[in-house]
């Protein structure tokens, strides 16, 4: 029989070995890091969650990893994506320094102990 519905594939970013997966599970006593409920290792679908998401410069190290129910992780990912996109926008806005923006930046003069007007040249 052909399966009509495809499983949603996990994004493969640095495959985690089964050994490491199980280690992280045991290290965290099999408790979901998102809802704090114990996960049934065999009966429930679970994943290794990055507490600080990789998209927000979280590290792919064991202390940043913890098991989570698949469903809990789906919910977290939604929220994370909003944060990641927000961070991306903020970074983009901060790095674009047009000549007009540079001129508009106030400079503090320590001798005069005040901000100089943007247009004033020294």
Query: In this chain, which of 10, 35, 83, 90 binds Zn ion, going by CB under 5 A?
Result: 35
With vertex at residue 55, the alpha carbon angle to CA 92 and CA 97, rounded to the nearest 5 degrees, is 10
By beta-carbon proximity to Zn ion, the closer residue of 45 and 86 is 45
- What φ, ψ does residue 107 adopt, rounded to 5°? -115, 135
73 contacts Zn ion (rule: CB under 5 A): no
Which span sits near Zn ion by CB under 5 A: 30-38, 56-64, 78-86, 89-97?
Answer: 30-38
- Dihedral of alpha carbons 60, 62, 63, 64, sign: positive
CB–CB of 56/32 below 8 Å? no
Establish if 48 lies at the interface with Zn ion (CB under 5 A): no
Rule CB under 5 A: is residue 33 a binding residue for Zn ion? no
CB of 57 to Zn ion, least distance (A): 24
């Amino acid at each position: 029989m052909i399966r009509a519905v495809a499983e949603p594939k996990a994004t493969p970013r640095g495959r985690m070995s089964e050994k490491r997966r199980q280690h992280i599970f045991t290290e965290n006593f099999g408790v979901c890091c998102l809802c704090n409920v114990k996960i049934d290792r065999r009966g429930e679908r679970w994943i290794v969650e990055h507490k600080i998401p990789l998209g927000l410069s979280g590290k792919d190290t064991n202390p940043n990893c913890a098991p989570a129910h698949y469903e809990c992780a789906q919910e977290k990912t939604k929220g994370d994506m909003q944060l990641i996109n927000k961070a991306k926008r903020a970074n983009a806005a901060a790095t674009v320094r047009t000549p007009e923006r540079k001129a508009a930046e106030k400079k503090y003069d320590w001798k005069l102990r005040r901000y100089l007007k943007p247009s004033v040249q020294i």
